[in-house]
Amino acid sequence: MRPSTKVFKPHPQSEARKRSAVTLIKCLLAQKKPEVSSAHCRALLNVLLFKITEADGKYKTRFRAQTALHCSDKTNLRHDHVFQRAKMIAALEKAVPRNADAILKRAFGCTVTKKEHTRISKFDKRYDGWARYAKPE
């Protein structure tokens, strides 16, 4: 996976969108209360991580596989979290709000084809980040 050879243009509101989601995550972490369901908290963290990684658009990510760049059928594209959401959510649940930034810096997405996404998913448990993409078939 490498940056697209096409010129990447961030969405005009990209940074504002990311800041908004990060602020909401920190508020959520700071407001941990016994009456707030941990399942609800995880669900909200999940949605907010998507808001960060899709700030430029679901498939207009900075990083796109060459095959994804040449795919004309969006139904064959997948938005993938380079650092898996489940692992980031687990880390955020243990973190204090001021430590969230270090975790959230790893929240970015890439665009791959459906076939590539299936292949990469095999490595989710053993590898994190870019290491999953480097694994052979």
Q: What residue spans define the domains of the chain?
A: 12-134
- Comparing CA positions, the residue from 6, 137, 12 lying closest to residue 68 is 6
Confidence category of residue 98, pLDDT binned at 50, 70, 90: confident
Confidence (pTM): 0.89
Separation between Cα atoms, residue 12 and residue 17, nearest integer Å: 10
Residue 2: predicted pLDDT: 59
8 in helix, strand or coil? coil
- Comparing CA positions, the residue from 43, 52, 41, 115 lying closest to residue 78 is 115
Residue tagged 């430590």 (tokens) = 99
CA angle, residues 60, 71, 130, in degrees to nearest 5: 60
User: Which residues, at least 6 apart from 29, have a Cβ–Cβ distance to it below 8 Å?
Assistant: 92, 95, 96, 97, 100
Tokens of residue 125, six digits: 């448990």
Residue 63: predicted pLDDT: 94
Residue 87 or residue 36, greater confidence = 87
Q: pLDDT tens across 40-51, in order?
A: 999 999 999 999
- Comparing CA positions, the residue from 55, 40, 137, 123 lying closest to residue 87 is 123
Residue 2 or residue 94, greater confidence = 94
